[in-house]
A and B are shown apart, each in its own frame.
Chain A
């Protein structure tokens, strides 16, 4: 006879009901309204809006810079997590707390501060200018702002997993004759990869939609440094609500497909 496991939180009906209502109010209804609004367009009109040269340029820029920022954070973030978990040193707690600051800071403040620092006459930007390239007002500047804003994701997803890997496993591998690189490749990477991918996907998704910090550092030049969220704002400023939702829907679909792919990849890694 099977024994019914009594749940910690009472009632399947109650919890599911709450979940559905909550999800509907916060996520589903707003997104559905967006789709309904965009449905006022015919397919041809919709296609014309999302394939306009400026929109395509912005699409490439938004997803490209968000991707590079996520990659940078994937590498640096893992290193940061490693240092924080594996070593004790004075000031570790403080650095650990500082990791979350990019979430707490208003993004516009971050954008203005980064811009001041990285303009061709800024404290850091002048050296780049001497070498003949621009940081602020170029895609590089956008990537920088996104790297800042999405920094906590990879650190915070990798950190707990790394802390849970028993040191003995690595020692055992070493005793069995594994070289350091093999320990990394066969012990650490498989354990960390799913969490790392989650952090990467979160950072990427957040970067695609980021507006506040990027808008100050981007320069916003048509065809060159215009991000997709800016094009949405531009359409809204012309009171073109439908055009704005069309771009919104397109971003949502592209993001969803990419996140789904990352999720599938994760499944394959977890269940080899």
Chain B
């Protein structure tokens, strides 16, 4: 009796395995700091989605978070990431160039320059906005102190810097010397340069330093959500900012080695689906999907946004010009 039942079970499983090969997947998503909550939600959604379409598969997704540049370097140095979801296209460019684990035209492989969601840079100020900060010009008023991480070590801080530059350029009527003067004055109001976005948030929120924190929109919302954040801080949206585009890419060579190409590609594609876009919006990232954006529209105020590709000629131009050794950021400090 028991033997017959066992044989039957064995037969059934053999037939089942023959019809649809169930596979166990282990996916590693190497990301940057503020996406922790986003991908926790998204991984649950994607696992459900994949298993519904591939019954019998099991999917385990691991996430790794840290500064965008540091994460990029880990992948170059051999961390077996199937997908990377970093803060800047420039970091994935370096993986392509130095690691040679994905083609250099990676950004053309998915819609919207491989950025399924975007964000922008806003101001987080103390409750009631005691210093009356409404736009970039207010940041250089005499008694205002500004907290931002170091653009040399933080991807987020590079977006901050470029947003400030864009404002300086506009206010100066397109004169780069005026823009430089503005950012130089601005950085005289910065008392601390933390190495990463989370470090700056700690300096501003927990240590009570500064009057205004330049932050990713999603980080600013998170700071409001945490504990009694709503009673301590306000978000101020400036007249002009930058469209922060954190891109995603499959690391082909790694995914191939692990037999994960199909699922890794699908993992990123699904970010563009309605479900994926809703999760992004719920985590305060601006969705690309117009319908989802409309649904969550009130959460994301409209403002003028410059873009890295149109206004700065892409990271390949902006990185050496502004942030490499001897670039604009170094110049404003050596001139002081």
Contact residues in A for B319 (Cβ distance below 8 Å):
238
Q: Is the CB of A222 within 8 A of B325?
A: no
Q: Which of A177-185, A196-204, A213-221 contacts B (4 or more CB under 8 A)?
A: A213-221
Partner of A116, one of B70, B73, B206: B206
Residues 184-235 of B at the A interface (beta carbon under 8 Å): 191-195, 199, 202-203, 206-209
**Is B324 an interface position by the 8 A CB rule?**
yes
Q: Is the CB of B195 within 8 A of A230?
A: yes
Q: Is the CB of A121 within 8 A of B73?
A: no
Q: In the bound complex, how far is the Cα of B191 from the Cα of A153, in angstroms? A: 33
> Who on chain B is nearest to A112 by CB?
B202
Q: Is the CB of B152 within 8 A of A119?
A: no
**Is A109 an interface position by the 8 A CB rule?**
no
**Is B334 an interface position by the 8 A CB rule?**
yes
**Is B135 an interface position by the 8 A CB rule?**
no
Residues 115-173 of B at the A interface (beta carbon under 8 Å): 150, 152-153
Q: Is the CB of B207 within 8 A of A121?
A: yes
> Who on chain A is nearest to B193 by CB?
A220
Residues 210-265 of B at the A interface (beta carbon under 8 Å): none
Q: In the bound complex, how far is the Cα of B150 from the Cα of A124, in angstroms? A: 26
Q: In the bound complex, how far is the Cα of B203 from the Cα of A44, in angstroms? A: 40
**Is B6 an interface position by the 8 A CB rule?**
no
Partner of A234, one of B73, B98, B152: B152
Chain A: number of interface residues, binned into ranges:
20 to 34
**Is B25 an interface position by the 8 A CB rule?**
no
**Is A130 an interface position by the 8 A CB rule?**
no
Contact residues in A for B209 (Cβ distance below 8 Å):
119-121
Residues 184-233 of A at the B interface (beta carbon under 8 Å): 215-216, 219-223, 230, 233
> Who on chain B is nearest to A221 by CB?
B193
**Is A168 an interface position by the 8 A CB rule?**
no
> Who on chain B is nearest to A215 by CB?
B195
Residues 277-336 of B at the A interface (beta carbon under 8 Å): 319, 323-325, 330, 333-334, 336
Q: Which of B98, B193, B206 has the most CB of A within 10 A?
A: B193
Contact residues in A for B153 (Cβ distance below 8 Å):
230, 233-234, 237
**Is A64 an interface position by the 8 A CB rule?**
no
Contact residues in B for A46 (Cβ distance below 8 Å):
none
Partner of B192, one of A53, A112, A137, A240: A137
Contact residues in B for A223 (Cβ distance below 8 Å):
333-334, 336
Q: Is the CB of B323 within 8 A of A238?
A: yes
Contact residues in A for B70 (Cβ distance below 8 Å):
236-237
> Who on chain B is nearest to A119 by CB?
B207
Q: Is the CB of A115 within 8 A of B207?
A: yes
**Is A77 an interface position by the 8 A CB rule?**
no
Contact residues in B for A222 (Cβ distance below 8 Å):
193, 330, 333-334
**Is A239 an interface position by the 8 A CB rule?**
yes
Contact residues in B for A236 (Cβ distance below 8 Å):
69-70, 73
Contact residues in B for A52 (Cβ distance below 8 Å):
325
**Is B57 an interface position by the 8 A CB rule?**
no
Given A137-B191, A223-B333, A233-B153, is A238 in contact with B208 using a C-beta cutoff of 8 Å? no
Q: In the bound complex, how far is the Cα of B194 from the Cα of A4, in angstroms? A: 62
**Is B26 an interface position by the 8 A CB rule?**
no
Contact residues in B for A115 (Cβ distance below 8 Å):
203, 207
Q: Is the CB of A219 within 8 A of B193?
A: yes
Q: Is the CB of B152 within 8 A of A237?
A: yes
Q: In the bound complex, how far is the Cα of B65 from the Cα of A255, in angstroms? A: 33
> Who on chain A is nearest to B207 by CB?
A119
Contact residues in A for B67 (Cβ distance below 8 Å):
237
CB 8 Å contact bits of B68-105 with A (1 = contact, 0 = none): 01101100100000000000000000100010000000
Q: Is the CB of B207 within 8 A of A219?
A: no
Q: Is the CB of B191 within 8 A of A219?
A: yes
**Is A243 an interface position by the 8 A CB rule?**
yes
**Is A122 an interface position by the 8 A CB rule?**
yes
Q: Is the CB of B207 within 8 A of A220?
A: no
Contact residues in B for A121 (Cβ distance below 8 Å):
207-209
Partner of A239, one of B94, B150, B203, B208: B94
Given A121-B207, A121-B208, is A220 in contact with B325 using a C-beta cutoff of 8 Å? no
Q: Which of A112, A234, A238, A243 has the most CB of B within 10 A?
A: A238
Contact residues in B for A54 (Cβ distance below 8 Å):
330, 333-334
Given A119-B208, A121-B207, A219-B192, is A239 in contact with B199 using a C-beta cutoff of 8 Å? no
Query: A residues touching B (Cβ–Cβ < 8 Å)?
Result: 52-54, 112, 115-116, 119-122, 137, 215-216, 219-223, 230, 233-240, 243
A-B residue pairs in contact (CB < 8 Å), sample of 16:
A54-B334, A116-B206, A216-B194, A216-B199, A216-B202, A219-B191, A219-B192, A221-B192, A222-B193, A237-B69, A238-B69, A238-B152, A238-B319, A238-B325, A239-B76, A239-B98
The 7 closest A-B pairs by CB, nearest first: A237-B69, A222-B333, A220-B193, A219-B192, A234-B152, A121-B208, A119-B207
